[in-house]
Structure 1
Amino acid sequence: FNACLDVILTSGLPDANLTAAQLVQLPVYSVGHSNGALLQVLIGSYFSEKIPKANAVISYYNRPATEAIPYFEQLSALASQMMPVVESSPINSMARSASDAWKVLNDTAGAMIPTYDQEAVISLNKFVDQLPSVFKQVAQGISKFKPTPSENRDFCKKSYNVQRTLLVKFNFDTIDETDLLEETLKPRVESISGTLEKVSLSGNHMTPCIQEPRWQVGYMYTPADAIAQGLKTLSLNDTRVLSRTITNWFSSLEE
């Protein structure tokens, strides 16, 4: 993200007729949902530079792997049983060489494209390199995220650095952990003279992910069109309230 932001602040957005000078003073705000909200909080805790001016944290969620991933323990047992078969398979040797092949492809692309984003390539290479060890750990029965949720809370409680934070929860979200996050961050935010606000809205954990249904009205407006538009309005109502809530909160920071 920071690499992308640096490019924009250097070159501007020509397609939108915006120069770098017009963008450089704009504040950086962050919005994250569920596991993305967890990443927001961790970034705001592990780093003190190039962090957002404000965070909108939606439906915070950080539970152990056995709770976060359905049937995780059963899948781990299955992976453990299948590992000897996989290791003896020719496909396994192909998978082991996939990382090297990927790096060769990246090197070739880098030589052909001068503006190749090397930072993105490095990040992607690290991701590819981790895959074999992840599969091996699952096969060995390892069933915990690292750091653990409790370790994350302990670290964020003493290291969170974002000055202004909005916590958003929904009234029909059974896996939300926003209240726990509020309890965790409140002392830290107060110690850095920041603000921590929380709102509860109508909706559920999937409300931020709802897409606008596509319905093309025909040549003549029919009862079916009326029903479809009514359902469209209902399905998007909570999402629109969420959008307005966050937008208004960000706008209030500049007053």
Structure 2
Amino acid sequence: MNWQEFSGNWVLIPRQPVGVIHFLGGAFVGTAPNFTYRWLLENLGKAGYAIITTPFVNTLDHTAIARNVLNRFESILERLQATNVLGQRYLPIYGLGHSMGCKLHLLIGSLFSVERAGNILISYNNYPIRRAIPFIEQLQIDKTFQLEFAPSPEETNVLIAKNYAVRRNLLIRFNNDDIDQTILLNPVLEQRFPQMVATLTLKGNHLTPLGQDFEWQMGEVFTPLDAIGQWVKQGLSRDLYSLKQEIVRWLNPLELKKI
């Protein structure tokens, strides 16, 4: 199972996939999600899910980005279905986003007609430009320009509350993440789709989904250095494994028995 590039999307297809995950990453790390989120995505692939990641470059026009990544995703999905790469049976489609990727999936579900079995939103944030890009206040910009993302945080909240159409959602936040806004998103989705929203708080921080596991090679004799290496490996891996397991559990509880 290897990554393949199709029309700007990076794709990972397991044998006999049980579903399709469309992944969108954070504002800057989302430009190369097949590398920056490699461990998480590859392990979801091992769990049986076809992974389609759509890189994007952040601009102020988040609506345009959402439209662009959706068009590219649907184009490659049609191509994969037409060439029978995904098989002939129906496969549920899930959106998976981290940080800004959450906002893009929420905009896609609010502005466009899409078929989704559910969305998984990790470390959601919807800050205005001056919080999202702190150094912007140091730039000499004419105040009359009123730079802000489009839609603004307030406009985004209204769109979600009125139009968001993906009924089943998993919201994941980390206990050491001070820029997460999941606590504000949860009641909006709960009001729209009562009892269809699950919220989890896991150990970790905003960068946990970007974690990479590593192998510690021990020598013939176990040394104090080996003990330190194993301790570091366990600490870095534990939160990442937990995140992966909770995603798989929500997608399909039976899948955990195969891992």
Superposition TM-score tier, normalisation by shorter sequence: 0.5 to 0.7
In structure 2, the partner of 1:178 is 182
Q: CA deviation at 1:248?
A: 0.3
In structure 2, the partner of 1:161 is 165
Q: C-alpha separation between the residues in 2 aligned to 1:74 and 1:253? A: 52
In structure 1, the partner of 2:50 is none
Q: Mark the CA change 1:33 to 1:163 in structure 2 (over 3 Å): closer, same or farther.
A: same
User: Higher strand proportion, which one?
Assistant: 2
What does 1:130-209 correspond to in 2, within 5 Å?
A: 141-190=145-194, 195-209=196-210
Contact 1:217 1:225 in 2 (8 A): yes
Q: C-alpha separation between the residues in 2 aligned to 1:48 and 1:252? A: 28
> Is 1:32 matched up with 2:104?
no
> Percent identical across equivalent pairs?
39
Contact 1:160 1:189 in 2 (8 A): no
Measured on the aligned residues, the alpha-carbon RMSD in Å equals 2.4
Query: SS at the partner of 2:113?
Result: coil
Aligned positions, number: 183
In structure 1, the partner of 2:225 is 224
Q: C-alpha separation between the residues in 1 aligned to 2:254 and 2:241? A: 20
User: Higher helix proportion, which one?
Assistant: 1
In structure 1, the partner of 2:11 is none
Match of 2:133 among 55, 69, 75: 69
Deviant stretches of 4+, over 6 Å: none
Q: Mark the CA change 1:168 to 1:52 in structure 2 (over 3 Å): closer, same or farther.
A: same
Q: CA deviation at 1:8?
A: 1.3
Q: C-alpha separation between the residues in 1 aligned to 2:81 and 2:240? A: 31
Q: C-alpha separation between the residues in 1 aligned to 2:169 and 2:93? A: 13
Q: CA deviation at 1:195?
A: 0.8
> Is 1:48 matched up with 2:113?
yes
Contact 1:159 1:188 in 2 (8 A): no
Q: CA deviation at 1:145?
A: 0.9
Q: TM-score, normalised by structure 1?
A: 0.65
Deviations 1:32-75 (A, max 9, x none): 111011111111111223x3211111111110010011211213
Structure 1, unpaired ranges of 5+? 14-18, 81-137
